[in-house]
Structure 1
Amino acid sequence: MGDGSSLFLTLIPWNVSSVMFTLFLLIMIHALRVLRTSSSQVPNFPEFVSVGVLNGLEILHCDSEIRRTEPKQEWMKRVTEDDPNFWYWTTRLCVDSVQTGKENIEKVKRRFNQTEGVHMWQWMFGCDWDDETDDITVYLQYAFDGEDFIYLNLSTESWVVVKPEALITKEKWVKSGAIQLAKQYIHKVCTVGLKNYVRYGEKTLKRTELPLVALLQKSSSAPVTCHATGFYPDTARLFWTKDGHEVLEDVDPGEILPNGDGTFQTSVSLDLSSVPSKDWDRHHCVFQLFGDKNKHVTRLDQSKIRTNGKNPPTSIITAVVVVGLIIIIIAAALTSKTSTV
């Protein structure tokens, strides 16, 4: 989908970008996120995109251009073992959502007294499952142009309005009984679907891969960046130490981002402008997966730093992912109740 995919990621609202790609600190927590994005006047980007991610891996894809749901992991083809009609219903939902997305954008634009320009309507559903305690945490949120609009508080079973323009939406959904349908949907996706998906991809999801680590520097006076790529899962830390103690000042940690091959990358920069060059080698870049006692340490060796004058390996400069459009078991009844605002 070209550059449109990066636009999709940057406009994900609230804390969705972090909850979409960052798992909890314990590997036993399995995170499922489904995002649907309808857009208008966005160049090189489908009008409708749905993305489903399990533990940081894209598992399903659908958009307004291909108009069908596709598995993005080979093991997701096993879904028909438990739901023979899965591909039919998710494809139908994808196609139906193209038109309802357009309608929603137009309605919300009018409420904000807007007529032209780029706009996005986003829906995010997610759940986290602790396979040790069997506890499940659920998220159901909506946003317009990258900002919160309305969300479901499941503990109080109520819609929470974030923007005044969402009051009409709340009243409409309360009358339609959308919360009860949402609860049915949550049960199907989170207590049944999510657990099945984890079972299908158990070998892949429970694997561990260590990163390729490189030291980078734009110029001799710039901070030194430690870049780690190719690791899995994304429950990991990358940090600097000095004489074995973690450095907390003059550091700039980056986000954990997905690569296109199902692995992840991240970086952390250290400003050494006030550190004598003779003391540089007292610093180390440390990578550690959560739950793993082993630390993978790279000493700050000035001779190993790659600068703009040196060509870094392609694995280091490989960019961040194209995230397609994914969708997961979406109950048609719930969609009809909450599809229009």
Structure 2
Amino acid sequence: MTLAGTPRTDRSQQSLVEPAIRELLDRLDAGNRLICGYQLGYWDADGTPATAQGKGIRPALALLGARAAGEEAVDGVPAAAAVELTHNFSLLHDDVLDGDTERRHRPTAWTVFGVGPAILAGDALIGLAYEALTDAPGGGPAVRRLAVDVRRLIAGQSADLEFEKRAQVSLDECLQMAGNKTAALLSGACALGALVVSAPAPLVDGLSRFGWHVGVAFQLVDDLLGIWGDPARTGKPVGADLRARKKSLPVVRAMTLGGPAGRSLSDLYGQAAPLGDDEVARATELVEAGGGRDWTEQRAREEIERAWAELDQLALPDEVHRELTDIASFITGRDH
């Protein structure tokens, strides 16, 4: 796998996982199939073929989980399909909850098809994710693991919404939210790939810990991009997280560190009026002045170093170790 651009530039991975997902989509009724395929980037709203897929990090980790156990990548396809479907289930619902109108440089599904249909399509995707695992040799343990990860993901999303209504959020609370919202599924991706090939528990656990640290780093970088990312690269409007008063990690760090910038940021977030462009620009300056950007960048590097340390404890094929390390490096260096 090459990470010159993003993990999805690996055509061999896509050629394994995409057909499996498309076969699963074909089990759906026509309406939900259309919306789900649109969400996955396989076609446009009228069914015209498209190429707007995501980065593919989670399915890549699942395939590597199977290879870490000495099996072929194809043996990890059920896990890879399941985590990609689960990820897009969460994105469909997340876009509705946040009112986001653009993802991957396209209108979000709910703006095209409606809120109700988008929610139901998300439900269809999570159902297909469990179906993808049921026929695998390690399907039973894998289904149980995915159920736990989905439960944690939902807890993280719930906390994220709750934080928008609270004046005070601690950094520990925010880190726990990030772990549940993002790290749980990335950790699960690594574990599921190993579970579906009945890998030994120490390997599953080690890969799971690696994925957890990668997932926390992913959310840290995502939060940075939510404030300072280039919309042409991220596919999201400038300052969307700040405009929505998201208690993201850079924001919470700046607020909890105190000082004039942190107090001013808290006051700005607390005002009743919607945040316009000037207020969003001011909030961006205050997060950086309050140390939120520097801390988040440093913490992301630390999480990746912890992920690498977990890998070093595992007896992995050299190529698998290298590719997992490459993904971890990509996480902190990405711009979208």
TM normalised by structure 2 equals 0.26
- Quick one: higher RCO (CA 8 Å, sep 6+), 1 or 2? 1
Q: Structure 1 or 2: larger strand share?
A: 1
Q: Which has the larger radius of gyration?
A: 1
TM normalised by structure 1 equals 0.26
